[in-house]
Amino acid sequence: MTENTNPAEPMAAEDDRAYALDRRTIAAILYAVDVGDAARLTALMEPLHQADIADLLEQMNAYDRRRLILLYGPEFDGDILTELEEGIREEVIQLLPRQILADAVRDLDSDDVVDLLEDLEAPEQEAILGALEEADRAVIEQALSYPEYSAGRLMQRECVIAPEFWTVGHAIDHMRASDGLPDSFYHVILVDPRLHPIAQVSLGAIMRSPRDRALRDLIEDQFRTIPVDQYDGDVAYAFNQYHLISAPVVDADGRLVGVITIDDAMSVLDEEHAENILRLAGVGDDSRLSDTVLETLRQRLPWLGVNLFTAALAATVIAQFEATISALVALAALMPIVASMGGNAGTQSLTVAVRALATRDLTAANAWRVVRREMAVGLLNGLSLALPLGLVTWALFGAPLLGAVIGAALVINLFVAALAGVTVPLVMDRLGVDPALASGVFVTTVTDVIGFLAFLGLATLVLL
Amino acid sequence: MTENTNPAEPMAAEDDRAYALDRRTIAAILYAVDVGDAARLTALMEPLHQADIADLLEQMNAYDRRRLILLYGPEFDGDILTELEEGIREEVIQLLPRQILADAVRDLDSDDVVDLLEDLEAPEQEAILGALEEADRAVIEQALSYPEYSAGRLMQRECVIAPEFWTVGHAIDHMRASDGLPDSFYHVILVDPRLHPIAQVSLGAIMRSPRDRALRDLIEDQFRTIPVDQYDGDVAYAFNQYHLISAPVVDADGRLVGVITIDDAMSVLDEEHAENILRLAGVGDDSRLSDTVLETLRQRLPWLGVNLFTAALAATVIAQFEATISALVALAALMPIVASMGGNAGTQSLTVAVRALATRDLTAANAWRVVRREMAVGLLNGLSLALPLGLVTWALFGAPLLGAVIGAALVINLFVAALAGVTVPLVMDRLGVDPALASGVFVTTVTDVIGFLAFLGLATLVLL
């Protein structure tokens, strides 16, 4: 590698995924760690965004990570910590000298410190809180008093307010004179004398208006406040649904306590999606790629255990038909086709329904219509595939009745799969259970049992 | 229902999902449509956000929707159209009188008009383009010339620029004097004389600074430009990874052509997740809850057809062991357990890998480590569950060797499932195929075939 190579330049040939860290940079960083060249390491890390440094740390093995942290320590930026995933974050915090940790955390916004602290064990929390000024610590402890996954944890305390009778000139003069403005803000919130937010004005609207224009003439049509105890997934939904950029957070008395900005809402939306997809697959929703073997086992084994139980249930159904299978052993080879098709069709309906429930697209207003559509689709899927399956079975086994039996069983199972795929999550949701969490097991149990029952039952009736 | 009831007030008791439309509002709206009371309908719709009106239209049946549009027509806001999903949007556009459609579209930002147009058939596109002023039409046609799903389609053309030698005072005076400022903007982009963006200054930083402060002293540390042909999913990733609020878009010569804001990136992130989860489930990624039965069938039938083929493959494996099954018919009841467990374990690994590839957490740097972890987890899952399964089988059938055979087959299949679950998407990704799209079929085919092969093969060797 020559001296003038820019290590941050993406290598299209080697890794053409936009924004992925390129291999050459990683190799150069690891080499600097190997030879213990702190100056070279710092130079290589300098152009990287903290989020990319965090990804790099997550993707290294523990041995290299430890050596890198010790070498890079004095340059360590607090924002890297906020970007790290939980397990690695604790590891890094324990590696960092106290003084460096304190400096790193002191520069962070209050919402980032809260984000950092909430996942840590008590001793690490103490280490970080101890490094903060008295006033900052009080703000953080207040934020941590709100429930986990609430708007209160997500918001920043710092916000820019103005009385509603101010003009653009008042607002600009006030902001120029203020010391404690947040790092980034997008609105001036108009409040009444009791600190209730009543409207907000975007900075863009202030910018384009003359100094004597009243703020109340510039307020946005859309104005929503967020209750401080609202679930953060609902906050993310509101930002996405109503195209909010920032929104004031209010306590039970409607008083302003903070502000949530869209970048934090976007992170929550991203995590919500990740949890949804992982739960649907029966993987613990706190699964991380850097989890150890044992952590991964702990997340996955329970669901496989549940599946073992439901698979045994399907096996007992088959066991009732041992006499039929003995008489016609070809049934044993054909029966998994019906069950597997049902499982797939059920997963299709289920995924669509779980997703639609999460986006509030499936509600009481259209539930019945969607259920009817799924039933129709299940029936038509079954009829479309029963014909080729029946004909091929007839041709291969020379038994037209066997073809008819497997075709009929397929129609029944795909109908049931579609119906179960949409009704199970609807019922779960009505019961207040996360439909992503447990619906999959129910639905595949239903399709396995019905699949084997329909095929072997019909075979017993028709063929024996 | 009494006159003073606020119909937009959420009904916690009936539908406790935050931001879902409450049933009472929906019922009142449908009643107004029934009796043809346009004034009442308008009053009921007035407090609703356009996104909620769009959801409402999506959730109604086609007959009510038609009547509502005809009654509400004159009040119809263009933003409702941009919020509607594709199928319903075309329906509504055809229902709206030309003049109302023209008025509705004329008030929209250029990126919203593009969003509206790109999914429409040519005649509807013409109808809308014809309603625009010449200049607006040129802007829209330029945007439509960029590839679908590119940054060029996502950006708005309107942006606020300044030469780098300007002061805060220059910038504010310029904005006050400008007519064509975008509705919402968050940065002033500093450009060189050839219109290359070189930095940006947040409105917040301008607000808090005195008039004589140079803009170049206020530039943000982080500055990224987006190539106009970049895939919109990568744009969304960059906004989420680097906490961008708005970013300038540049053409191949590095010249400023527009700006993308985080709210549009958030919508794309949301859609990307939806596509991922739907593809993993073998559902067409353009699936909508309001699709007709035939549209839904067209999305789902192809994947069920592929699954029918792979299930037949597994059946031929079983058919090789008909003699074994004839000799010991209990095998027929037990064999789906091994296959089903493999399918579930494979889906777990697969989902984690597909998700990690999408978030760039799984890269060449850690692929081998993750594969090793999956193999270890697969082996340990197998060993953990083989013991209870083997023991129960032994107890139920009184055959210790049968218990040993099913236990061993389970260990083999869960190991293979974990390995296939992570390697198949890695290989797909390396080949440039979306791993969410086809990995599932491969992995379950592998676990079905290996499951039946291992169990029936071992049984043939050991038990006969």
pLDDT digits (tens, 9 = 90+) for B405-433: 999 999 999 999 999 999 999 999 999 88
A243 phi-psi bin (left φ>0, alpha ψ -120 to 50, beta other) = left
Q: Which domain holds residue A97?
A: 23-145
Q: Flag whether B286 is in a domain.
A: no
CA distance B336 to B2: 60
How far is Cα B49 from Cα A244, in angstroms, rounded to an integer?
12
Among residues B258, B280, B302, the one where a domain terminates is: B280
Contacts across the A-B interface (CB distance below 8 Å): 372
CB B50 within 8 A of CB B104: no
Amino acid, res. B168 = V
Compute the distance between CA of residue A440 and CA of residue A282 in angstroms, rounded to an integer: 8
The pLDDT value given to residue B112: 81
A319/A451 same-domain check: yes
Checking if the pLDDT of A13 tops 60, the result is no
On whether both B87 and B173 belong to a single domain, the answer is no
* A421 in the same domain as A379: yes
DSSP secondary structure code for residue B231 in this structure? B
Q: Is the pLDDT of residue A31 over 80?
A: yes
> Rounded to 5 degrees, what are φ and ψ at A437?
-80, -40
Q: Which residue has the tokens 């992503």?
A: A436
Domain annotation covers residue B113:
yes
Q: Predicted ipTM?
A: 0.89
Residues contacting residue B301 through CB under 8 Å, at least 6 positions apart:
A381, A384, A385
Instruction: Tell me how far apart the alpha carbons of residues B183 and A335 are, in angstroms, rounded to a whole number.
Output: 61
Residues 51-80 of A with CB under 8 A from B: 51-52, 55-56, 58-61
Axis-axis angle for helices A262-280, B232-242 (nearest 10): 110
Q: Which residues contact A240 (CB under 8 A, 6 or more apart)?
A: A265, A269, B266, B267, B270
Q: Which of A113, A145, A177 is the C-terminal boundary of a domain?
A: A145
Residues B29 and B122 in one domain: yes
Q: Which of A20, A56, A240 sits opposite B266 (nearest CB)?
A: A240
- In the structure encoding, which two tokens stand for residue A301, read together? 């084994």
Of B277, B316, B384, the CB nearest to A351: B277
**Interatomic CA distance for residues B276 and B436, integer angstroms:** 6
Contact status, residue A201 vs residue A220, Cβ threshold 8 Å: yes
Instruction: Kindly state whether residues B66 and B111 are assigned to the same domain.
Output: yes
Give yes or no for residue B111 having a pLDDT over 90.
no
B105 occurs within a structural domain: yes
Nearest-neighbour CA in chain B from A459: distance (Å): 15
Claim to verify: residue B139 and residue B173 sit in the same structural domain: no
Domain count, chain B: 3
Domain identity same for A192 and A45:
no
The verdict on residue B11 lying in a domain is no
- A61: its two tokens: 């093995």
The answer to whether residues B427 and B372 belong to one domain is yes
Closest CA to B412 of B385, B372, B373, B442: B385
d(CA A185, CA A206): 13
Give A15 or A126, the one with higher predicted confidence: A126
Q: Which residues contact B253 (CB under 8 A, 6 or more apart)?
A: none
Q: Across all residues in chain B, what is the average pLDDT?
A: 89
Q: Is residue A270 part of a domain?
A: yes
CA distances in angstroms from B127 to B68, B76, B79, B95, B104, listed in the order given = 22, 16, 17, 12, 12
Is B154 a domain residue? no
Instruction: Search chain B and give the residue with CA nearest A169.
Output: B207
Check if A415 contacts B (Cβ < 8 Å).
no
* pLDDT of A2 higher than 80: no
A-chain residues near B60 (CB < 8 A): 365-366
Beta bridge partners of A202: A187
> How far, in Å, CA of B143 to CA of A19, rounded?
24
Beta bridge pairs of residue A161: A189
- Ramachandran class of A249: left when φ > 0, alpha when ψ lies in -120 to 50, beta otherwise: beta
CA distances (Å), origin A208, targets A148, A213, B82, B361: 40, 10, 26, 42
Question: Chain B partners of A267 at a C-beta cutoff of 8 Å?
Answer: 240
pLDDT at B10: 37
Of A375, A449, A378, A385, residue with least CA distance to A414: A378
Same domain (yes/no): A205, A351: no
Contacting B residues, span 441-460, partner chain A, CB-CB under 8 Å: 444, 448, 452
Smallest Cα distance from A352 to chain B, Å: 7
Residues of A in contact with B291 (CB under 8 A): 373
CATH code for the domain in which residue A197 is found: 3.10.580.10
Half-sphere exposure of B124 (CA within 13 A, CB side): 21
Is the pLDDT assigned to residue A109 strictly greater than 80?
no
Q: What percent of chain A has pLDDT over 90?
A: 65
- Interchain CB contact of B50 with A (< 8 Å): no
Chain B interface disruption, residue of A261, A299, A360, A430, most B CBs within 10 A: A360
Residues of A with Cβ-Cβ distance to B385 under 8 angstroms: 301, 304-305, 308
Determine, yes or no, domain membership for A152.
no
CATH number at residue A403: 1.10.357.20
Give me the sign of the Cα torsion angle B339, B344, B349, B351: positive
pLDDT of residue B320 exceeding 80: yes
> How confident is the model over A212-260, as pLDDT tens digits?
999 999 999 889 999 999 999 999 999 999 999 999 999 999 999 999 9
Q: Are B333 and A355 in contact (CB under 8 A)?
A: no
User: Which CATH number covers residue A31?
Assistant: 1.25.60.10
Judge whether A399 and A451 are in contact, CB under 8 Å. no
**What distance in Å separates the CA atoms of residue B263 and residue B255, rounded to the nearest whole number?**
23
Same domain for A137 and A69?
Answer: yes
Beta-carbon contacts of residue A191 (< 8 Å; ≥ 6 apart): A161, A162, A163, A164, A197, A198, A256
Section B26-31 average pLDDT: 92
**Are both B300 and B391 inside the same structural domain?**
yes
Same domain, yes or no: B110 and B214? no
Instruction: Enter the tokens of residue A157.
Output: 């305390």
pLDDT band at A12 (very low <50, low <70, confident <90, very high): very low
Instruction: Tell me if chain B has a CB within 8 Å of the CB of A18.
Output: yes
Break chain A down into helix, strand, coil percent, rounded to 5.
65, 5, 30
Residue A90 forms part of a structural domain: yes
Is residue A98 scored above 50 in pLDDT? yes
Q: Provide the 8-state DSSP code for B433.
A: S
At residue B200, φ and ψ (nearest 5 deg) are -140, 155
User: What average pLDDT does the structure give for chain A?
Assistant: 89
Of B249, B280, B311, the last residue of a domain is B280
